[in-house]
Structure 1
C-alpha cells in the first residue's frame, strides 16, 4: 500500500489520484485551470458498492436484511470505498489502476478496480466490482465536485433528461417519475440513451460528462461547486433496482469527461 499521490499527464492536462484518500481523483488541471474543488472531502470520489443514500442504511441481500452505518443520518450514503485506502496495481505516464478490497461493514468479500486514463482532452474512469465467494447487490458511481467558478466565470449546466425521480422529504426517490423541474437540484435524473451533461464556464472551458449508464444525480445547492454524478442506478437502488454481482459476472461502468477551451 502506498500513501503517495499519483500524477498523470497528457499534453497540458494533469490528473492527481489519491489512493490513500479513498481512491479519489483529487485534482484535474487543464492548462493550469483546476476543475475540481480541493479538499479532503472533495475532488471526485468513487461511490461503491452503492450510490447516494440507502434508506435507514438497510437493504435486502437475498433473504437477509443488512444494516450499514448511518453516516448521513437517518441514512447511509455513498458506499464504503471512499473511506478506505486503495492499492496501486499499475501506473504509467497517463494511466493508473488502483484497487480496493471490500471489508467490514460490507458483508461480502470482493474487489473494486478503478482504471484512470488521461488524454490531452479527456479523462476516462472505468470501475468494476468483482465478487469473490458469493453474489451480492452493488452499484457504481462517481461523485465529482466541479468548481462553480473558473477564471471568474460561473458554470452553466445543459442536459436533457427523459425524467426526474420525484424526491421525497427524506431525500430519497419516491418511485414516481416526473417531468424534469428547474434547479437548484439534489436530484436523480433518467437518461436512457446514456448520461450526457455539458458544463460550460463561459470564455474558459466546456466539459462533457458522458456514460453509457442511464442515471445521473445533479447536485448544485452549494455555492462553491456543482456535482454531476453518473451511476448504475438511482439512490436507494440496492433496494429498488439491485444489480447482482456474481463470481462469474462483475459489475462494470465507465464515464468519460471530455473538454475543450473556449
Structure 2
C-alpha cells in the first residue's frame, strides 16, 4: 500500500515497504523520477528517490571499524552499498513521516526518520539517524531523474563542481581531494552552487540541501542522479574525508519548481 501527498502542483507517492522511498514525483503534470535501465543494477537501488542510512555510498569490502571492533556489513558485489534503510519496510508514524529501527549488522542501534513535506512549488525531504552515540555515520538521498519528460527538451543540468573526491582504479575514494575533471561522472563533489535541472520548454527544478557533498552519476543516457550526502563514500576509512567535528546525523533536500 502506497501513500499519496498532493496539492495543486505536486503529487508524491511513497512506498513504506520499499524503504519509505518516493516512487513517483509529479510536478506540474510531469513525472520527474525514473527507473534505471543500467544493465545488471540491483533492483533495490534502481528507481525513485530512496534514503541512504546509516551510511551513504560504498564502504570498501563492507568492513567498518568502530570502538575497537571491525564489523562486516552486507555487500552488493565487492562493497557495502547505500545503507540498510532502502531494503527495509518502514513504519508510518504521521502523514508523510516514517521510522525504522536499525541495529546489527550495523555497529550501533538507532532509529532512522524519513519525512516528506509538500511545498507550494515543490517538496522537502528530510532524513535523520539517531543512535545516541558519536559513532561514525553518513546519510543521504538518492534520486533518479528522467532525462526526458513527456514534453519539452532533454534535461540540461547546471552543476558547478568546486572540489572532487579522487577515485582510485577500483572506483573508490583514495582519500584525496582534487580539481574536478570533465564528465561523465560517478563521483563525489563539493559544489559551488546549488544544482538546477532544466527540461527546456517543460520544467525547471532547483535543488537545495543541508549536505556538504553531492554524488553525481550522469553516465546513463536516460537518467541522472544528483545525491546529497553528509560525507563522501567510504569516508570512514579516510580521515581527510571526515568532518572536522561530529558526524552529521541528518540531511534535507528541497526540490522547488518553476516553468522555464
TM-score by shorter chain over 0.5: yes
Residue 14 of structure 2 is matched in structure 1 by 17
Residue 29 of structure 2 is matched in structure 1 by 32
Separation in 1, partners of 2:161, 2:185? 13
For residue 87 of structure 1, the aligned residue among 73, 87, 91 is: 91
Separation in 2, partners of 1:182, 1:202? 23
Cα 1:251–1:22 change in 2 (3 A) is same
Q: CA deviation at 1:103?
A: 3.4
Residue 238 of structure 1 is matched in structure 2 by 236
Equivalent residue of 2:78, what SS? Answer: coil
Q: CA deviation at 1:157?
A: 1.3
Residue 40 of structure 2 is matched in structure 1 by none
User: Residues 230 and 248 of structure 2 are in contact (CA less than 8 Å); yes or no, is this contact kept in structure 1?
Assistant: no
What does 1:1-262 correspond to in 2, within 5 Å? 4-38=1-35, 41-71=46-76, 73-91=77-95, 96-131=96-131, 134-150=133-149, 151=151, 153-191=153-191, 196-240=194-238, 241=241, 251-262=249-260
Equivalent residue of 1:138, what SS? Answer: coil
RMSD of aligned alpha carbons: 2.2
Separation in 2, partners of 1:217, 1:38? 18
How many pairs align?
A: 249
User: Residues 161 and 180 of structure 2 are in contact (CA less than 8 Å); yes or no, is this contact kept in structure 1?
Assistant: yes
Cα 1:50–1:243 change in 2 (3 A) is farther
Q: CA deviation at 1:31?
A: 2.2
User: Residues 137 and 243 of structure 1 are in contact (CA less than 8 Å); yes or no, is this contact kept in structure 2?
Assistant: no
How far does the alpha carbon of each residue in 1:85-128 deviate from its partner, in whole angstroms, 9 at most, with x for none? 0010001xxxx111111033223210001111112312111111
Q: CA deviation at 1:250?
A: 7.7
Separation in 2, partners of 1:250, 1:130? 10
Equivalent residue of 2:195, what SS? Answer: strand
TM-score (norm 1): 0.88
Which range moved further: 220-229 or 81-90? 220-229
How far does the alpha carbon of each residue in 1:18-74 deviate from its partner, in whole angstroms, 9 at most, with x for none? 111111111100122100014863000111111111011111112111111111x21
Separation in 1, partners of 2:174, 2:237? 12
More strand by share: 1
User: Residues 137 and 248 of structure 2 are in contact (CA less than 8 Å); yes or no, is this contact kept in structure 1?
Assistant: no
User: Residues 128 and 250 of structure 1 are in contact (CA less than 8 Å); yes or no, is this contact kept in structure 2?
Assistant: no
User: Residues 152 and 202 of structure 2 are in contact (CA less than 8 Å); yes or no, is this contact kept in structure 1?
Assistant: no
Separation in 2, partners of 1:38, 1:11? 25
Equivalent residue of 1:230, what SS? Answer: strand
